[in-house]
Chains A and B, each alone.
Chain A
C-alpha cells in the first residue's frame, strides 16, 4: 500500500474508490484456516452465501476453493456446511502451515 501524506488523502477517512477492500489482504489475520474437501462437497453453496468476506470461490455455480488472501478464518463456512456433509474443517493456521 502506498502511504501518502495528510495533504494528499481525502478528509474524514472517506474512501473514494469503490470496492478497494479487494486490495486489503485480511488473510493474515487468520488463526484458523478452513480446509475444503472437494470429494465431500455437494456444492449447496451455503458457505458461499454466509461467508462475510466473499472468500468462497465459485466457477460455473460450483465451489472451487477458498480465497486465502482474504479469508479471515471466522469459521462460519464450516458451521454452515451441512452436518452430514462436513466438507469444511477449521484447522489451526500454524498446524495447517506445518502440514504443508
Chain B
C-alpha cells in the first residue's frame, strides 16, 4: 500500500532516510542540503529513528566520520552540496577506494566563485572520476526511490561502492511535489540488515583498513574498483526491477521517453528532463518525431542503453549543466560522443550548455533546441561548437 505524500525533495530524501534508519548519519549543513538533514535531525530528536547522528565541524570531517563508521561495519549516510562536496573531496576518493558502501544525497548547486547557491551540476560532475556511483533524479519521487535503491546497490557484494543520489538544488530540493512512498515495514524489509564483509570491531577476525599500498598492489586495487563499477551496471538494473515489483515504478540506467522512432532526441539529466518531457508531448501532438533520453546513472555510464536509445536519431542535442573547461564540450556531451564512437552511428550531435548558477531553462528553450536539431540533421558538427541556452549574447 503506497502512502501518498506531499513533500519537498529534501523532505522526500529525509523520509527515505527515516525509513532506512541507517546506523550512523554524519552531517554538516550547507545550502540547499540543510533542510534535508534538519528534517532528519527532527526524526532523531523525536525518537523516530535509532540512528547515531554525528554533528561535525566541516564536510571533510563529515565524510571522514562516515568512512570511520562504515569501516566499523555500520550502514552510513551523509548529505551535502557544492562547496561542501568540494571540501570532502579527499575523503570522497577514500570512501570509494576503501570500498565503503556509503549513500550520500547530493543537492546539486553551483560551485563558487563567484558565490552562487543555485542549481547546476558542477559539483557532482567534478566528482565523476572519484569512484562513486552517481544516480541523477528528475523529481522528488525519484529522489525517494533512488535513495532506497542506492542502499542495495552500494551494499551488493559484487559492487561495494558508495553512491551519490543527486537532485537539483531548489528546483527539486525546495519544491513541494506529490509522491508515493512505501509503508515503513515495506521499506525496512527492502533495505534489510547490512552485514559488512569486514569490520574494525571484529576482534575474532581482525583487519587493517586503509594501509599504505605502493607500487606492488595499488594498481591491483584500482583494477578491483573498475570491476566493482562495471558490476554496478547489472546490479542497478536488477535492483531497479525488484523495486518495480515492490513499488510499481520502473527504473533502469536510462529512461527512454518516446525515443524509439524519434528523429530528434534531447539527452539530459536531472529536473530538466521533466521540462523536456512536456515539450516532447507538445511536439508529438504536432506530429513531430522527438524524444528525450534521460540519463539516470551517470556512473557507471550506460553506454549500451545510450546507443540503443539514440538508434533512430538524425540529430541529438546534449544538454550539459556544467562546464569542462578547456574540453571540447560538457561532461555529458563527451560521454555521448565516446558511447557512439565506433558504433557506425551517423548522427549530428550538438552540445548545449545551460542553467549555470541556476539560470532557468524553459519549455521554449527546449523547443528551440528541437527546432535547431531539425536544421542540423545530416551536417557535421565540430565537438567544440558548443551552444549556450539562455545566455545574454
Interface residue ranges, A against B (CB under 8 Å): 1, 3-6, 9-16, 18
Contacts and interface: CB of A to CB of B under 8 A. Distances in A.
A70 B216 CA distance: 19
A1 B100 CA distance: 27
Contacts, number: 48
Contact of B211 (A1, A5, A13): A13
Contacts of A16: 198, 205, 207
B206 A18 contact: yes
User: By DSSP majority rule, is chain A's interface helix, strand, loop, or mixed?
Assistant: loop
B271 interface: no
Contact of A12 (B97, B205, B219, B227): B97
Contact of A13 (B160, B205, B217): B217
User: By DSSP majority rule, is chain B's interface helix, strand, loop, or mixed?
Assistant: loop
B223 A6 contact: yes
B224 A1 contact: no
A4 B98 CA distance: 19
Interface of B: 97-100, 160, 198, 205-211, 213, 216-217, 219-221, 223-224, 227-228
15 contacts: A3-B216, A6-B227, A9-B220, A9-B221, A10-B198, A11-B99, A11-B224, A12-B98, A12-B99, A12-B224, A13-B97, A13-B213, A15-B207, A16-B205, A18-B208
Contacts of A11: 99, 160, 221, 224, 228
Given A11-B99, A12-B97, A12-B98, A6 B208 contact: no
A14 B198 CA distance: 8
B39 to A, nearest CB: 32
Nearest to A1: B216
B221 A6 contact: yes
A14 B224 CA distance: 12
Contact of A14 (B207, B219, B220, B223): B207
